[in-house]
Amino acid sequence: MTSLADKAILSGADNRPPMLEKDMYDSWKSRMELYMLNRQHGRMILESVENDPLLWPTVEENGVTWLKKYSELSTTDAIQADCDVKATNIILQGLPPEVYALV
């Protein structure tokens, strides 16, 4: 029998994403989308999952090309980079240990 605490973990909370339960992917997916949208910059977090994460801009100098440092990103790109990390963390925190081990 599922305890009240187990149900709370599965459904998530404001400070914890919902946990994936076998055979309930569709429900988990919609709850995860709502959870992400409820975060600061939620639309950017969700778009990071649905689309590709930020392609870091490059700098070319004297024929050498490298990725910009985080401190060199524009404000918008820095926020998007942060949202990419948050999106990954949210998804990984919503996976049970047996699924996380496969990632």
Q: What is the pLDDT of residues 26-53, one digit of tens each?
A: 999 999 999 999 999 999 999 999 998 9
- pLDDT higher than threshold 60 for residue 9: no
Largest CA distance in the chain: 66
Asked if residue 45 is part of any domain, the answer here is yes
Q: Quote the mean pLDDT of the chain.
A: 89
Confidence of residue 103 (pLDDT cuts 50, 70, 90): confident
Identify the domain containing residue 66 by its residue range: 19-100
What are the backbone angles phi and psi of residue 66, rounded to the nearest 5°? -145, 165
Q: Could you tell me which residues come within 8 angstroms of residue 26 by beta carbon, excluding any fewer than 6 positions away?
A: none
Asked if residue 13 is part of any domain, the answer here is no
Asked if residue 59 is part of any domain, the answer here is yes
Entry field: residues in the chain: 103
- pLDDT higher than threshold 70 for residue 99: yes
Confidence of residue 22 (pLDDT cuts 50, 70, 90): confident
Structural domains in the chain (count): 1
